[in-house]
Chains A and B, each alone.
Chain A
Amino acid sequence: MQETNSGGAAALVPHGPLSVSDRLAKKALRHFKERLIELLLLGAAFVSVLTTVGIIWVLVSESVNFFGTVSIWSFLTDTMWTPLFAEPRYGILPLLAGTLTTSAVALIVAIPLGTTIAIYLSEFARPTVRELVKPFLELLGGIPTIVYGYFALMVVIPMLQLLMPELSGFNMLGAGIVMGIAIIPYVSSLAEDAMRAVPMSMREGSYAMGATRLQTAFRVVFPAALSGILSAYILGISRAVGETMIVAVAAGMQPNFTVNPLEPAQTISAYIVQVALGDLPHGSIGYQSIFAAGLSLMLMTLALNLVGHVVRRRYREAY
């Protein structure tokens, strides 16, 4: 559309500084340059697709080698994860139990607190309070997770030990609580965005019927924003499942087939870190095992993403 003017201009000014053929040549060059730039930009955008392809390729190809030695059945059902023993056993269940337990503790902290903060900021707080608090929450979400891990180990677990003297120095409860605090900002900011997107007219209708702010928040705004709030929760869950450093520092590094949060245990991600810290040779079964663990983790987050997609479709309220 943007090249159409050059032909007409050439006809109007026959003896301009450039002849018609020069102008056409310039136009072809310009057209070529535009196409080239578009291709370059497309190439840049395609890097993200290549990243995904790379992740899948690496995880699957190394896992295939791994499952050549260890059967999938024993990987999924064996209750022992002892890769460093003389007779190694690779059952993912203990790591899975650790991952799910720490995530559950984190969600018990993050979902109620995150939702309360979101409702408070979106429906109750004055704009000045909101403007003041939101950057603070963002900062909370921006703190490196290794710092949270240190905090869990040095502050939260000793505090828990005051309440429960027999608690071990590494446990899933302390790690889970801190992880929950770390994911509050993700939950609260997405949930708040969803609630703020609910049209004002719906609140006004509710107020006009005599409802209080609390009733409006819980019976009108919350249900209307449900799809967004649920996707905030799902993002929180997938953060918790993939979180690494907090559990690596504070939950202990021993695979332990238990769902008791008072015990130490290892998560899938913490196992990967533990192996990477050691010096396993490239191509060994231990090296391959972290890719099988990573594949399990990836499949879990992928499943969560899919659930999130379905939830968004299903509970979407259109105005």
Chain B
Amino acid sequence: MKAEDIPLIRKIIRRNKRLELLFAVAGLVALLIGVLTFVALFAQMAFAGWERITPEFFTNFPSRRAAQAGILSAWVGSLLVMLVTAVSAVPLGVASGIYLEEYAPKNLLTDIIEINVTNLAGVPSIVYGLLALGVFVYTFGFGQSILSAGLTLGLLILPVVIVATRESIRSIPLHIREAAYGLGATRWQVTRDHIVPYSLPGIMTGVIIGMSRAIGETAPIITIGALTFIAFLPESPVGPEFPWVNFEWLTSGFTVMPIQMFNWTSRPEEAFQQNAAAAGFILVLMTLAMNAVSIWIRYHVRKDIKW
């Protein structure tokens, strides 16, 4: 290396360091845009809707007068729809995941199911709404009910639950299975006593992520024809007399939080925008809480497992 090269090399190094710094700043700015949007969105809704978030807001039905309108039918509806979604999607999704990881032979049928799950994850949610409108509402005759909405969202989050179950099962080392089989356990015994319990934290994470997506879904539920103005509650699922449960609520008309918010957002009056902000704030809090739980499970419960 010649002596006169050294300043040149130093110049190149300086330039590269500058470029590097520039990119690091660009990366931080891009991250900040994301984070700031989140903060702005949350703060704006909290600020605009703050006055409306009172106990009455949770116990009042929607009303023509913005100041008296509340989200009672919306949050009850969301809760009941989520119940149907969980009851339909969790067993189906977990069972599918178990089948694909532990049971499925390498054949055409398995390939079809796998490709199909991948593709379903990419189908726009509104198309699920059309499926539900054609099949659940009219062909099966469930009508525009909580049952139709819950099953629709159940199908919608099925790929999320399946993928989470599979990933979680895949992380269980093979020697766990070999030890159980070596002691004479059948495939189902291995699955029931080892695979499912060990993969439970991962499955829970997936289920919660799926549910937090379902609770905010608006388009498919509008498509099946949910009403936007509901001033009654469905029949209570728990009755005072034997057998203490009834299923009439399944066929009831309903509204959910995101639809209530959409309804208020599309009104021109300022006062209803305030209600929309308040409803949106609560909706985001709900999804945040669900996401926080899943993140917590991932970082704390999973870490404790040492194979």
B138 A282 Cβ-Cβ under 8 A: yes
Using C-beta atoms within 8 Å of the partner chain, give the interface range for chain A. Answer: 35 or more
Please indicate the chain B residues that have their CB under 8 angstroms from the CB of A143 in the complex.
38, 41, 216, 284, 287
Establish whether residues A51 and B219, one from each chain, have CB atoms under 8 Å apart when the complex forms.
no
Number of residues of chain B lying within 8 A (CB) of chain A: 88
Point out which of B26, B41, B116, B284 has the most chain A C-beta atoms below 10 A from its C-beta: B41
Contacts of A121 in B (CB 8 A): 27
Main secondary structure of the interface of B (DSSP, over half): helix
12 A-B pairs within 8 Å (CB atoms) are namely A5-B184, A52-B119, A120-B26, A138-B295, A142-B212, A143-B216, A144-B217, A150-B277, A150-B280, A238-B124, A248-B262, A277-B222
Most A C-beta atoms less than 10 A away, residue of B128, B216, B228, B295:
B216
The answer for the CA separation of A304 and B124 in the assembled complex, in Å, is 12
Within the complex, the shortest CB–CB distance from A180 to chain B, in Å, comes to 10
Given contacts A41-B98, A150-B277, contact A155 B44 (CB under 8 A): yes
Point out the residue from A44, A133, A213, A298 that lies within 8 Å of B92, measured CB to CB. Answer: A44
Contact A155 to B40, CB < 8 A, known contacts A49-B112, A149-B265, A249-B266? yes
Nearest Cβ distance between residue B151 and chain A, in whole angstroms? 11
Residues of chain B within 8 A of A38, CB atoms compared: 99, 103, 187
In contact, B34 and A113 (Cβ under 8 angstroms): yes
Smallest CB separation, A52 vs chain B (Å): 5
- Tell which of B17-25, B57-65, B236-244 binds the partner: B17-25
- Does A160 sit at the interface, judged by CB under 8 A? no
Are A291 and B134 in contact, with the CB atoms below 8 A? Answer: yes
Confirm or deny: B87 has a beta carbon within 8 angstroms of a beta carbon on chain A.
no
Q: Please, what's the 1-or-0 string for B156-192, where 1 marks a CB less than 8 Å from any CB in chain A?
A: 0011001000000000000000000100111110000
CB pair B162 A144 closer than 8 Å: no
Binary CB contact string for chain B from 201 to 228 against chain A (1 if under 8 A, 0 otherwise): 0000000010011011111001111001
Tally of A-B residue pairs with Cβ under 8 A?
Answer: 259
Q: Which residue of B lies closest to A279 (CB)?
A: B225
Q: How far is the CA of A121 from the CA of B288 in the complex (A)?
A: 23
Contact among B48, B280, B287 for A142, CB-based, below 8 A: B287
- B128: chain A residues within 8 A (beta carbon): 55
How near does chain A come to B104, taking the closest CB pair, in angstroms? 8
Interchain CA distance A304-B123 in the complex, whole Å: 11
Please choose the segment from A11-19, A84-92, A268-276 that sits at the chain B interface, where 4 or more of its residues have CB less than 8 A away. A268-276
- Which B residues are CB-close (under 8 A) to A185? 34
Q: Mark A7-39, 1 if CB is under 8 A from B, else 0.
A: 000000000000000000000001001100110
Q: Is B231 close to A, CB under 8 A?
A: no
Which of chain B's residues have a CB closer than 8 A to the CB of A49? 112-113, 116
The reply to whether A45 and B96 form a contact with Cβ atoms under 8 Å apart is yes
Taking a contact as CB atoms under 8 Å apart, the answer to whether A297 and B27 are in contact is no
Instruction: Decide yes or no whether A54 CB sits under 8 A from chain B.
Output: yes
A318 within 8 A of B: no
A245-B119 in contact (CB<8A) = no
Give per-residue flags for B100-131: 1 if the beta carbon is below 8 A from chain A beta carbons, else 0: 10011000000011001101101111111111
